[in-house]
Structure 1
Amino acid sequence: MAGEVRFEPDLYRGTAGYYDRFRLPYPDVMIADLARRTAPSGRGRLLDLACGTGQLAFPLRGWFADVWAVDAEPGMTEVVRAKATDAGAAQIRTVTAGAEELRAEPESFELIVIGNAFHRLRRPLVAERAHTWLKPGGCLALCWSTSPWAGTHDWQRALDRLLRRWQNDLGASGRVPPGWDQARKRDPDHAVLSRAGFEPAGRHEFAVEYQWAIGELAGHIRSTSFLPPSVLASHAAEFDADLTTELSGHTVDGRLTETVSFAYELVRKPVHG
């Protein structure tokens, strides 16, 4: 585990409401594709690890008799619990625990999903435990999507510059560890998973056009670990005004358009004997 970057455990404190409202949902076509390739029995158990507010647990729940939604942040699991009650989703069980501390029986899950979070976890340890928790033939899916400030449109470059400036001005640049992505470049996810005993089962991408209102982007930014409400604090109104000033000139009919790339990397626990 040497060389793995450690993220502070409370980076998402206070973000759950924004996370649930402003994070883009995984497209239905991706969810259906994941279910088709993993072929759940309908009687098994799903583990949504580092679940956020259940962006994978809820759309996948129909294929499982039992769903564990696990997150280290109590605010996230509180939202999942309330949503499950409202939806009558009795099969969803919330567990407030870090991925590294979760206790589960060996071979107790048919599918494990991790959405936009594997890089924040102690990858070798989580991969080894996930391999133990899965039934033979079961799958682990690393799911993710691109961020609106990471694209090549002029408005995305302007947004990226603005976010960097605000992080510097508010002393928040160190909330995400510098060079966090270097560990993944030196030791890619697929290599970590292979060492844990998984076999590759393909990477699958889905492009979706999305049109943001500036207010939606403001909410989305508050769902992040680098400029959450606790960091913006009394500067929130000033930030929103700056965001509007920077991006208004790029809008068309009040919207900012991008192509969001959703994807998942699938690996399988071999069936022996």
Structure 2
Amino acid sequence: MTTIDWDSAADSFDEEPDHGLLDPVVRHAWARRLESWLPGARSEVLDLGCGTGSLALLAAGQGHRVTAVDRSPRMAERARAKLAGTGAEVLLGDAARPPVGGQRFDVVMVRHVVWLLPDPAAALRHWFDLLRPGGRLILIEGVWGGVGLPAGRLTGLLSEFTERVHHEPLSGDPDLWGGPVDDERYALVARAEPPRRHTEVVDVHLILRRGPDVLLARRAGTGYADALLHCPSGHVEDGEDVREAMIREAAEEIGVELGPDELRVALVMQHRGPGGSPRTGWFFEAEYDPARPPCNREPDKCSELEWFPLDALPDDSVAYCRAGLDGYRAGEHFLIHWHEDGDPVAYQPHGARRAVPLPAGGTGTGGVHHIELWVPDLATAERGWGWLLGELGHVPYQHWEHGRSWRRGDSYVVAEQSPDLTGQVHDRCRPGLNHLAFHVRDRATLDALVAEAPAHGWRQLFPDRYPHAGGEEHVAAYLEDAAGYEVELVAGIAQARPAPQEPDPHADVRERGRD
């Protein structure tokens, strides 16, 4: 560690304390800041526009090997006198292109220089070239009396070269300046990083549902996947979140103005096209509104819009989009779809399946583990509940002498004919379970379930008020099996249930008798 004799060096300082650091309080304040900005280990430091060498002397005093550069012969001479005995080297030259040859440094330090340069971006580029990997560029700048360089502008210039910039305001520390200041003064510490972090395009896709059908657009005149079908889609632009981007793209491409509450996330998929770079796609689901029919707003990019059954999609589609729709239909939420180089962009009915589903996280504390129903006749319950739960996406799970279960995700439903059963009919009007309620995707699916239910042992409750027996804003069906269990099927994801009214203690009995 170099020892500095400050009394001997004092004669070489400028007279102004904020530049010459003659004042011990000012000098200590800058030494403290430099200690936090410079590496803890001995490092090679390049001080550009060093002036009389005040900051160079502080860096040398903290054990660093310093090379100082200034274009003024007078300043360079004073810096040499000040730094004598420290091992520092003082060079005469331009701070923007310092005469250091191929030498590389751990730190490049520049104070009150950038704002004077005719081409700051070129200087910053050169200074980053002078840094070793992981090195630091320390810029001390400000705005004085309306001239100078605001921190926001300089940070913007640095964004071309690094993502790691630490901004430290200095105006609020009067010890640095020999007294209070009311203008903008700051330091930026930027790190020289290896090549930029991986980035991906983010795109959005609209799955517009009209009952069992989805809307697809045929690409044309784009130079990519022309003549193939694809969901209405586009890229997220700077400053947008994915939902805002989807709303904008829907309006631009098909003229449908969607509200944020009409969009539901259906699927997220990371995709790589053949020979291309990865991207991440967000697939959103929305319901068709007859009052807002879609139309082709971009005929230069799209030759037609057409509805297709989700369970019978056409083959002449973009493989990326088809993988998303197939995953959506299968109930997946996260996919990786990675083309091999040489794979076609178009969907291949008999080609390799590149989509890999990713399991979501567990339910965690508070989620429903299972629901167990005791039934008087297991065979009857298996026929009725097995059909209904299968239509709702559950799969057979457990099978034993007295019971069956069906699972969906982390939860399952059990039907058991227990030897300990004490009754033969479930009465939902007694204390205990009143009914189970399940989501149904849309009104068309609900209608189909209601039509098929009687063939599987279910009867419809309140048919004269279908589908609004639960309220005008609530689209649902109510079914009951032979054992007296009630199921509510609610159409529309995340549909709010109307607030309950004051109960009529006899209403349910009357309705059951009327049915």
Normalising by the residue count of structure 2, what TM-score does the alignment of the two structures yield? 0.30
Deviation at 1:75, TM superposition (A): 0.6
- From 201, 207, 210, the equivalent of 2:173 is 207
Residues 128 and 106 (structure 1), Cα distance of their counterparts in 2 relative to 1, 3 Å cut: farther
CA distance in 2, matches of 1:209, 1:186: 21
Q: Does 1:22 align with 2:32?
A: no
Equivalent in the alignment of 2:121: 124
Deviation at 1:37, TM superposition (A): 4.0
Equivalent in the alignment of 2:95: 99
Residue identity matched to 2:104: S
CA distance in 2, matches of 1:54, 1:260: 23
Q: Contact 2:165 / 2:191 at 8 angstroms: preserved in 1? A: yes
Question: Partner of 1:31: helix, strand, or coil?
Answer: helix
Q: Aligned ranges for residues 254-265 of structure 1 at < 5 Å? A: 258-260=179-181, 263-265=186-188
Equivalent in the alignment of 1:32: 32
- From 116, 126, 132, the equivalent of 1:135 is 132
Residues 132 and 98 (structure 1), Cα distance of their counterparts in 2 relative to 1, 3 Å cut: same
Q: Does 1:189 align with 2:154?
A: yes
Deviation at 1:47, TM superposition (A): 0.8
Deviation at 1:187, TM superposition (A): 8.1
Question: Partner of 2:159: helix, strand, or coil?
Answer: helix
Deviation at 1:146, TM superposition (A): 7.2
- Structure 2 unaligned runs (5+)? 1-10, 198-515
Q: Does 1:74 align with 2:39?
A: no
CA distance in 2, matches of 1:76, 1:55: 11
Deviation at 1:142, TM superposition (A): 1.3
Deviations 1:123-160 (A, max 9, x none): 1121011111111111111124776xx5xxxxxxxxxx
Greater relative contact order (CA < 8 Å, ≥ 6 in sequence):
1
CA distance in 2, matches of 1:41, 1:82: 26
Deviations 1:176-234 (A, max 9, x none): xxx965xx56981111122133621232425126998xxxxxxxxxxxxxxxxxxxxxx
Residue identity matched to 1:259: P
Residues 134 and 105 (structure 1), Cα distance of their counterparts in 2 relative to 1, 3 Å cut: farther
Question: Partner of 2:180: helix, strand, or coil?
Answer: strand
Q: Contact 1:145 / 1:260 at 8 angstroms: preserved in 2? A: no
CA distance in 1, matches of 2:37, 2:175: 24
Deviations 1:42-89 (A, max 9, x none): 1x211111111112101111334421111111110010111122xx22
Q: Which moved more, 1:18-27 or 1:75-84?
A: 18-27
Q: Which has the higher strand share?
A: 2
Residues 79 and 269 (structure 1), Cα distance of their counterparts in 2 relative to 1, 3 Å cut: same
Q: How many residues align?
A: 176
Equivalent in the alignment of 1:174: none
Residues 204 and 38 (structure 1), Cα distance of their counterparts in 2 relative to 1, 3 Å cut: farther
Question: Partner of 1:104: helix, strand, or coil?
Answer: coil
CA distance in 2, matches of 1:210, 1:98: 26
Residues 39 and 211 (structure 1), Cα distance of their counterparts in 2 relative to 1, 3 Å cut: closer
Q: Aligned ranges for residues 52-71 of structure 1 at < 5 Å? A: 52-71=51-70
Residues 94 and 115 (structure 1), Cα distance of their counterparts in 2 relative to 1, 3 Å cut: same
Residue identity matched to 2:191: R
CA distance in 2, matches of 1:57, 1:51: 7
CA distance in 1, matches of 2:12, 2:41: 34
Residues 38 and 271 (structure 1), Cα distance of their counterparts in 2 relative to 1, 3 Å cut: farther
Residues 259 and 107 (structure 1), Cα distance of their counterparts in 2 relative to 1, 3 Å cut: same
CA distance in 2, matches of 1:104, 1:200: 25
CA distance in 2, matches of 1:269, 1:119: 21
Equivalent in the alignment of 2:105: 109
Q: Contact 2:97 / 2:126 at 8 angstroms: preserved in 1? A: no
Q: Aligned ranges for residues 147-158 of structure 1 at < 5 Å? A: 150=145
Residue identity matched to 2:180: T
Q: Contact 2:12 / 2:81 at 8 angstroms: preserved in 1? A: no
Higher gyration radius (CA) = 2
Question: Partner of 2:115: helix, strand, or coil?
Answer: helix
CA distance in 1, matches of 2:152, 2:142: 21
RMSD (Å), alpha carbons = 3.4
Question: Partner of 2:14: helix, strand, or coil?
Answer: helix
Question: Partner of 2:83: helix, strand, or coil?
Answer: helix
Residue identity matched to 1:190: T
Question: Partner of 2:41: helix, strand, or coil?
Answer: coil
Residues 116 and 23 (structure 1), Cα distance of their counterparts in 2 relative to 1, 3 Å cut: farther
Q: Contact 1:54 / 1:69 at 8 angstroms: preserved in 2? A: yes
CA distance in 2, matches of 1:64, 1:108: 18
